[in-house]
Chain A
Amino acid sequence: MSVVLLLFLLIPLAGIAMAMRVRRGAALFWLSLAVVLLDDLCLLVGMSDLPVCLPITTAGGWFYLDALSGWHLLVMLLVFTASSLFALVYFRADLASDRLSIATARRYNQLWLGSLWTMTLTLLANNIGLMWVGMEATTLVTAFLVSIYPKPAAIEAMWKYLIICSVGIAFAFVGTLLVAAALPSGGAGSQQLFWTQLMTTGGYNHLLLKAAFLFSLVGFGTKAGLAPTHTWLPDAHSQAPGPVSAMFSGFMLNAALYCIMRHGAIVNHALGSDMFTGRLYIFFGLMSIVVSAAFILHQRDIKRLLAYHSVEHLGIITLGLGLGPAGCFAALLHTVNHSLCKSLSFFAAGRLGQLYGSHDMDRIRGALRNAPLWGIALVGSLLALIGVAPFSIFISEYLLVKAAIDRQAIAVIVIFLVGSGVIFVSALGHLIPMAWGEGQMLSKKHCSVSAVIVVTVLLSLLLFLGLFLPVPIRNFLDQAAFLTGGVQ
């Protein structure tokens, strides 16, 4: 069983090495897809009885998978599978017209698999220092995916992303150091920063631990796109190619939030209550929702619009983390819903942007007539994104409000509902002309099989999870939410 964990780390590396030998552009994208599918296969075969088989430990305790990281691993593989499939569609024209050279295609795919590897490392690391190393590595690997087409705007976005996130994550390392400093002196040596150890020791210095959490929250929060340090996010998401934006928004932000969850659980465990972390989660969550609402109102670029939606939804997840066990459950369910939905919407925005030759929402008109498949994807995913029933985001937001009512956090509910209300109205205002408006007619393009598969599968998953939550998934989420809470 534990061999599977090592396979998750080895398969992407093997893929990166193999990419050196591949001589055709399209084959490189197929290779990426094959690697991700192999990872999926490992998950299906090796851990078919998820989450019963958890936790798994291997390599002398250095790698570890429990329900919380297992849940995120599942989300990561969903996002990477969909995005790798979509990359075949997205880059096809550029490969044919030589706008994307073989060397660039190879660099893209190696970086793509590299980001899969670094995120896997972040999830599987048992040592919180190693988790930090993985998270910082994601920034370095993904930065050059933003500027794979070296336009001035893309380079500007890449520079901001690299600097802001590197500095942010440096602060998260101060958080990690302070956790180490808060430990009672004398103990199990190099095992001490193991998550499994941290959750069983007592006698922490509470003040240092609280300071540690502040640093981790702000540091990893920069990478997760929480306001007010979200400023790199709209630039990087809007300039990156479609599949990359989808991967950023669909999983990279969640990986950073996952690190915050781990640190929060340690603090909750040491303090014996979730009061301290809860207040901070609620504050940062609400701030992200309000800030993104202000920017969504006046947005012209479709990918920037979606990027601010990411700030909003990561804010919603963070808010949920501050609302006790029921809130954590809602937050983790919201994670998968948002990731599926945001991947689909970035696919649609990326493809429509290619067809119309612009990401300006004033120029994208009548998408449903011009490109039915991507028009449907855009309408469906945006409606899901703003919380229309019966899509699954409605359910997780409903559960979140319910958790807030149970805690009698009236002010929280009011701010949350006003923020999402503003976003609902302004997003609909952007969507309706894009989908149905009168505008230029485009020549009909034929849709490939992979495009149809991606759109149908993602839309039906969003609908399915909205109508029905199977018992195994519910148990899985219960376990993960329990771990996120951290209070025994």
Chain B
Amino acid sequence: MLTLMSLLLFLLVLTNLTLLGSSRLAFCIRTVAVQGVVLGCIPLIGLHPFTLQHGLLSLSAVVLKGGVFPWLLLRSLRVARVKREVEPFIGFSVSLSIGFFVLIGSVVFASRLPLAGHHNHLIIALAIFTMVTGLLLLISRRKALSMVLGYLVLENGIYCLGAAVADHIPMVVEFGVLLDVWVAVFGMGIAMYQINREFDHTDVDRLTELRG
């Protein structure tokens, strides 16, 4: 069990670093999908005793994050006819180096958190790392699609944090959260379609009509 968990956590780190360092959007979408599947599996292994409800929740998370979201996003990628992220505000190699430092920082930070003994510090550290990766993608990229990916990675980090620290969240709420994220991605997809139609591009840094 322990080794399987280590493998999943290793994959989580790997997907984050991949996202920070790559420019091809279709590849990024698939990486986020892999991350979603990995995260869906984490609560099933070792964290909680297995129940039907947890199984259902993990299954819906895997289906949504590994199947529905990438499908939606790849579709809007085709409509918008963009292939790669060009000249982000923070370059790929710089983002990667920032990513490494954040990873070390969050491991140190999580080991000092005053949490009760049964919480898993490593998972908390990686949750924080994933959240910061999402925020970095959100602020440093130009294409609308990269922002949606950043939002998804941030959500993934929060999901991971929830699995690690809070065993009190009832199922109804967990499903509500998943539903909200699904609607959010759907809405952002429609928004990208509208931006593309009205502006003929999806570079969010060129949306500058409204100021002051």
Q: Which residue numbers of A lie inside 8 Å of B, CB to CB? A: 62, 127, 129-130, 132-133, 136-137, 139-140, 143-144, 147, 150-153, 155-160, 162-163, 166-167, 170, 173-174, 177-178, 180-181, 183, 185, 187, 189-190, 192-193, 205, 207-208, 234-235, 238-239, 295, 298-300, 304
From B138, B147, B177, B183, give the contact of A173 (CB < 8 A). Answer: B177
Contacts of B11 on A, CB cut-off 8 Å?
Answer: none
Within residues 9 to 32 of chain B, which ones have a CB less than 8 A from any CB in chain A? none
In whole angstroms, what is the CA distance A230 to B195 when docked? 22
- Determine whether the beta carbon of B168 is less than 8 Å from that of A298: no
- Determine whether the beta carbon of B210 is less than 8 Å from that of A167: no
Q: List 24 A-B contacts (CB under 8 A).
A: A130-B173, A133-B180, A140-B180, A140-B187, A144-B190, A152-B199, A155-B194, A159-B195, A159-B204, A163-B188, A167-B138, A167-B151, A170-B158, A173-B177, A174-B158, A180-B165, A181-B119, A185-B116, A190-B171, A193-B173, A205-B114, A234-B210, A234-B212, A298-B212
Asked if B67 CB lies within 8 Å of chain A CBs, one says no
For residue A75, give the distance in angstroms from its CB to the closest CB of chain B: 24
- Determine whether the beta carbon of B187 is less than 8 Å from that of A143: yes
From B166, B190, B191, B204, give the contact of A177 (CB < 8 A). Answer: B166
- Determine whether the beta carbon of B168 is less than 8 Å from that of A193: yes
From A157, A192, A193, A205, give the contact of B210 (CB < 8 A). Answer: A157
- Determine whether the beta carbon of A180 is less than 8 Å from that of B184: no
In whole angstroms, what is the CA distance A137 to B182 when docked? 11
Write the chain A residue with the least CB distance to B124.
A181
Asked if B49 CB lies within 8 Å of chain A CBs, one says no
Contacts of B173 on A, CB cut-off 8 Å?
Answer: 127, 129-130, 132-133, 193
Write the chain B residue with the least CB distance to A151.
B198
Within residues 169 to 202 of chain B, which ones have a CB less than 8 A from any CB in chain A? 169-173, 176-177, 179-180, 183-184, 187-188, 190-191, 194-195, 197-199
**Binding site secondary structure of chain A:** helix
Given A152-B198, A174-B161, A193-B173, answer yes or no on A162-B138 (Cβ-Cβ < 8 Å).
no
- Determine whether the beta carbon of A166 is less than 8 Å from that of B195: no
- Determine whether the beta carbon of A129 is less than 8 Å from that of B188: no
- Determine whether the beta carbon of B183 is less than 8 Å from that of A167: no
Mask: chain B, 126-166; 1 = CB below 8 Å from A; 0 = not: 00000100010010000010010001001100100110011
Given A127-B173, A155-B198, A185-B116, answer yes or no on A167-B154 (Cβ-Cβ < 8 Å).
yes
Q: Which residue numbers of B lie inside 8 Å of A, CB to CB? A: 114-116, 118-119, 131, 135, 138, 144, 147, 151, 154-155, 158, 161-162, 165-173, 176-177, 179-180, 183-184, 187-188, 190-191, 194-195, 197-199, 204, 207, 209-210, 212
From B151, B177, B209, give the contact of A133 (CB < 8 A). Answer: B177
For residue B107, give the distance in angstroms from its CB to the closest CB of chain A: 18
In whole angstroms, what is the CA distance A153 to B194 when docked? 11
In whole angstroms, what is the CA distance A98 to B163 when docked? 51
Contacts of A189 on B, CB cut-off 8 Å?
Answer: 168
In whole angstroms, what is the CA distance A167 to B173 when docked? 18
Write the chain B residue with the least CB distance to A184.
B116
Contacts of A152 on B, CB cut-off 8 Å?
Answer: 198-199, 209
Q: Which of B144, B168, B170, B204 has the most CB of A within 10 A?
A: B168
- Determine whether the beta carbon of A177 is less than 8 Å from that of B169: yes
In whole angstroms, what is the CA distance A205 to B194 when docked? 46
- Determine whether the beta carbon of A304 is less than 8 Å from that of B212: yes
- Determine whether the beta carbon of B183 is less than 8 Å from that of A193: no
In whole angstroms, what is the CA distance A157 to B165 when docked? 36
Contacts of B180 on A, CB cut-off 8 Å?
Answer: 133, 136-137, 140
- Determine whether the beta carbon of B207 is less than 8 Å from that of A129: no
Q: Which of B135, B154, B204, B212 has the most CB of A within 10 A?
A: B212
Q: Which of A144, A159, A295 has the most CB of B within 10 A?
A: A159
- Determine whether the beta carbon of B184 is less than 8 Å from that of A140: yes
Given A136-B180, A153-B209, answer yes or no on A158-B169 (Cβ-Cβ < 8 Å).
no
From B119, B131, B168, B210, give the contact of A238 (CB < 8 A). Answer: B210
For residue B156, give the distance in angstroms from its CB to the closest CB of chain A: 11
Contacts of B207 on A, CB cut-off 8 Å?
Answer: 156, 159-160
In whole angstroms, what is the CA distance A225 to B190 when docked? 25
- Determine whether the beta carbon of A177 is less than 8 Å from that of B194: no
- Determine whether the beta carbon of B151 is less than 8 Å from that of A155: no
From B154, B169, B194, B197, give the contact of A129 (CB < 8 A). Answer: B169
Q: Which of A127, A139, A173 has the most CB of B within 10 A?
A: A173
- Determine whether the beta carbon of A295 is less than 8 Å from that of B212: yes
From A166, A185, A208, give the contact of B114 (CB < 8 A). Answer: A208
- Determine whether the beta carbon of B187 is less than 8 Å from that of A144: yes
Q: Which 6 residue pairs spanning A and B have beta carbons closest together?
A: A129-B173, A133-B176, A180-B166, A190-B170, A181-B165, A156-B207
- Determine whether the beta carbon of B183 is less than 8 Å from that of A140: yes
Contacts of A190 on B, CB cut-off 8 Å?
Answer: 168, 170-171
**What would 11 more interface pairs be, CB under 8 Å, given A133-B176, A153-B210?**
A152-B198, A155-B195, A162-B187, A163-B138, A173-B177, A177-B166, A185-B116, A187-B168, A190-B170, A208-B115, A299-B212
- Determine whether the beta carbon of A147 is less than 8 Å from that of B187: no
Contacts of A157 on B, CB cut-off 8 Å?
Answer: 210
- Determine whether the beta carbon of A207 is less than 8 Å from that of B114: yes
In whole angstroms, what is the CA distance A298 to B211 when docked? 12
Contacts of B165 on A, CB cut-off 8 Å?
Answer: 177-178, 180-181
Contacts of A139 on B, CB cut-off 8 Å?
Answer: 184
Write the chain A residue with the least CB distance to B163.
A177
- Determine whether the beta carbon of A170 is less than 8 Å from that of B151: yes
For residue B183, give the distance in angstroms from its CB to the closest CB of chain A: 5
In whole angstroms, what is the CA distance A239 to B207 when docked? 14
For residue B48, give the distance in angstroms from its CB to the closest CB of chain A: 13
In whole angstroms, what is the CA distance A181 to B163 when docked? 11
- Determine whether the beta carbon of B209 is less than 8 Å from that of A150: no
Contacts of B162 on A, CB cut-off 8 Å?
Answer: 173, 177
For residue B211, give the distance in angstroms from its CB to the closest CB of chain A: 9
Given A140-B183, A167-B138, answer yes or no on A239-B210 (Cβ-Cβ < 8 Å).
yes
- Determine whether the beta carbon of A163 is less than 8 Å from that of B158: no
